[in-house]
Amino acid sequence: MKLRTSHGQRTLPGEYFESAEIWRLEQERIFRRSWLLAGHVSELTEHGSYFLHEIGNDSVVVLRDGAGKVRAFHNFCRHRGTRLCAESRGRLDNTIRCSYHAWTYGLDGTLRGAPNMQEVAGFDKASWGLKPVVLSEWRGFIFLNLAADPRPFDETLHALAGKFEHWPLSKLTSVHQTVYDVEANWKLIFHNYSECYHCPTAHPHLNKLTPYRNTENDLDEGPVLGGPMAMSNPQGSMTMHGGCCAPPFAGLTAGERSRVYYYTLFPSGFLSLHPDYVLVHRAQPLAVDRTRIVCDWYFHPDAVAAPGFDPQSAIAFWDLTNRQDWALCANAFRGVRSPAWEPGPYSELESQLAAFDRHYLQMLKKT
């Protein structure tokens, strides 16, 4: 097992959780350059299905077009900027129509109709389609990149290559989604997910299932951080009753079967792989002091179709844990914004937070 160390680091100074300038830099250098975990293909079941992914002032519509292709566009009208889709997910007809002056776009982004614009000299509909956003698919998960010419997905998130091959990620389907509005800066939510130092005090039930010192970090530098935790019951799962809610995924080894695997994907989400289901948190930082977390519980469609399938124990377990965590994040956020607060020392159990901060600062400083 690798030695865990936080290298004597301290937490980030308070300005990182408060400053409008740092928030602006994060938007420019982190969120508009990174690959962002936005969803899963199973959410786009039919032509016209869509969901939104929102970061700061950016809103992106991810949809399946008439030919079955997944596409992403900025969620604004090219005329005067009006937001096109208001609901966080839903189904579009064959077109997207702006509610202001009725410019109408195809699901492929082309501008189809622009009333009265034919009177404008030189106006060419072909130049005013929706602005596309680059996307990449990894094992069923959809990642977006707001940069015009991003670094390739495989170069940035190379740690994911060949990882989790025994989990049928591309086949999974979400059986439940909960959206949380957390009153905390997004980095505190990443910090919180990245350690189990708080588990004995904050999550007594979770700590019984996976005693807090059972972490074995196998990725401890870079944009993907995390590792497995051995469960007290090697046949169990992370649920209220401690057992599985579905048969374990067929391809898992006995070792994989007895652990839960936790990873942060900088800067947009968490993957938690259980023997019988996969939990995904997507982080959508909306402001320096507010983060939306979209949480999905994914199961294999065969398990979902089986008689008596009941995911409730997994849903209740993580909903409880999530709410305990968000309360802690919000509370820590209140403290670190005080002008009197000064950075505290990380324990060795917080080595992943120190690694997150190193990577974050590196990204923030890149011009």
From 72-80, 215-223, 301-309, 320-328, give the range in contact with ligand FES by CB under 6 A: 72-80
**Cβ atoms of residues 111 and 125 within 8 Å:** yes
**Cβ atoms of residues 55 and 36 within 8 Å:** yes
Strand order in the sheet with 89-91: 70-74, 58-64, 49-55, 89-91
**Cβ atoms of residues 290 and 167 within 8 Å:** no
What is the identity of the amino acid at 342? E
Tokens 């994911």 sit on residue: 160
Which of 77, 85, 246, 280 is the binder for ligand FES (CB under 6 A)? 77
In whole angstroms, give the CA distance from residue 59 to residue 77. 12
Binding of residue 85 to ligand FES (CB under 6 A): no
At closest approach, how far in Å is the CB of 81 from ligand FES? 6
At closest approach, how far in Å is the CB of 114 from ligand FES? 7
Provide the 3-class DSSP secondary structure of residue 54: strand
Contact pattern from residue 187 through residue 226 relative to ligand FES, giving x for each residue in contact according to CB under 6 A and a dash for the rest: ----------------------------------------
Beta-bridge partner residues of 274: none
At closest approach, how far in Å is the CB of 78 from ligand FES? 8
Binding residues among 99-158 for ligand FES as defined by CB under 6 A: 100-103
**CA dihedral sign of residues 43, 49, 54, 60:** positive
User: Which residues lie below 8 Å from residue 29, measured CB to CB, with a gap of 6+?
Assistant: 363, 364, 366, 367
Which of 9, 82, 95, 136 is the binder for ligand FES (CB under 6 A)? 82
At closest approach, how far in Å is the CB of 98 from ligand FES? 3
Which of 98, 144, 175, 271 is the binder for ligand FES (CB under 6 A)? 98
Binding of residue 7 to ligand FES (CB under 6 A): no
Binding of residue 96 to ligand FES (CB under 6 A): no
From 75-83, 162-170, 282-290, 352-360, give the range in contact with ligand FES by CB under 6 A: 75-83
> Which option in ligand FES, Fe ion, none does residue 361 bind, with CB closer than 5 to 8 A by kind?
none
For residue 294, the surrounding DSSP H or E stretch is strand 290-299
Q: Which is nearer to Fe ion, 53 or 282 (CB)?
A: 282
For 159-219, the DSSP string reads: GGTTTTTTS-GGG-EEEEEEEEEESS-HHHHHHHHT--TTHHHH-HHHHHHS-TT-B--SB
> Which option in Fe ion, ligand FES, none does residue 325 bind, with CB closer than 5 to 8 A by kind?
Fe ion
Q: Which is nearer to Fe ion, 145 or 210 (CB)?
A: 210
From residue 31, give the alpha-carbon distance in Å to each of 12, 102, 142, 188, 202: 19, 31, 16, 16, 30
Q: Which is nearer to Fe ion, 26 or 195 (CB)?
A: 195
The number of residues that bind ligand FES (CB under 6 A) is 9
> Which option in ligand FES, Fe ion, none does residue 317 bind, with CB closer than 5 to 8 A by kind?
none
* Residue ranges in contact with ligand FES by CB under 6 A: 77, 79-80, 82, 98, 100-103
